[in-house]
Homo-oligomer: A and B are copies of this chain.
Amino acid sequence: MVKVSIKDIAKLSGVSAATVSRTLSKPSLVSKSTRKKVMKAVDETGYKPNRFGASLRTQKSNNVVVVMPDITNQVNAAIIRAIENEATKAGYSVLLGDTQNNIERDSYYGDMVTSGQADGILVFTPRIPFTINKDKPLREQLPPMVNSCEEIDSEYVHKVVIDNQLGAVKAMQHLLELGHTKIAAVKGPSMTPSTKARLDGYKQALIEAGIEVDNRFIITGDYGPESGFQAMEKLLRLKERPTAVFCFSDDMAIGAMNALREYDYDVPGDVSVIGFDDITYASLMSPKLTTIRQPLDQMGTQCMQILLKLMNGNKDVEKYVELPTELIVRQSTGPLVS
């Protein structure tokens, strides 16, 4: 834990600090012989340049922040893994911002990019997390930023998204094709853009099939398994029960299946259940969960790649990348038995 600075290396190898710096970051500017001397000293001492000194001068932190509501969530975890991968490849470190849905923490992390502690920001919540000046146009205040999962309502921010509405339609069409007409929806919190879009898809599919939307069939959860359980309980208490349930997340679908099991209903015999996301555990459930797959890995990778371009000052960067969802039919959905 003895700190070695560039001056020590300079002294040790008999050159100036400038030359040491060049040896390490622009070796082509240094002659082979001095390069060798310097590297020897570096190796002997185990010298690692202090990144703060460098950052201060270059105005680059080589950090990116990622702001997400909950790292424990499989969807988020899968995305962040991909991000981290891509980031390290490009020499960036990732600062983790798990906000636990706390708006103060949103801005705590958001301001990292404002204060120069990070060069870019990846946001998976539907709000711009840093402080903005309402008197100036947003466009001018945007740092390198990419948004995904929950869309921010602004045309200026770069996004990597899926078509949530279409995904929901796919799920519904699958259930409709199986003959179901009494299809319930277990949605997420009403303010979340993903839920809004999926709900639109749910209604659209119903209307196109000539089925009336029944509000008693729409239950609100919080995307977590426990809320799926409770939502299912509510549905089971209805006089006229649904024969199929479209849950807006796999976690809620898993919760719903647990409720059905608890009350002795067969899935998909009595009730079909379809989820959304395709997390790892979806295919490990019994019955295996039918779901709409989000390309989580790809989403993370794309987000980071776009962010890298933005941070490099690249001008022609995709503003809006839409990735495809896919219906994965497994065992939790089946034909209507009347």
Give the B-binding residues of A (Cβ under 8 A).
Answer: 1, 3, 46, 48-53, 55-56, 61, 63, 70-72, 74, 77-78, 80-81, 84-85, 88, 93-96, 98, 100, 105, 108, 111-112, 114-117, 131, 133, 140-143, 225, 254-255, 257-258, 261, 280-281, 284-286
Contacts and interface: CB of A to CB of B under 8 A. Distances in A.
A77 B141 CA distance: 33
Nearest to A80: B71
Taking the full assembly, how many copies of this chain does it contain? Answer: 2
Given A1-B142, A98-B81, A286-B286, A61 B52 contact: yes
Contact of A96 (B70, B84, B133): B84
27 contacts: A3-B116, A46-B114, A46-B131, A46-B133, A48-B111, A50-B56, A52-B52, A52-B117, A71-B71, A71-B77, A71-B80, A71-B84, A72-B74, A72-B77, A72-B78, A72-B280, A80-B96, A81-B98, A85-B100, A88-B105, A93-B95, A93-B96, A257-B286, A258-B284, A261-B286, A285-B286, A286-B286
Contacts of A74: 72, 74
A176 to B, nearest CB: 27
A95 B78 CA distance: 17
A53 to B, nearest CB: 6
A108 B81 CA distance: 16
A66 to B, nearest CB: 8
B96 A94 contact: yes
A284 B261 contact: no
A9 to B, nearest CB: 13
A257 to B, nearest CB: 8
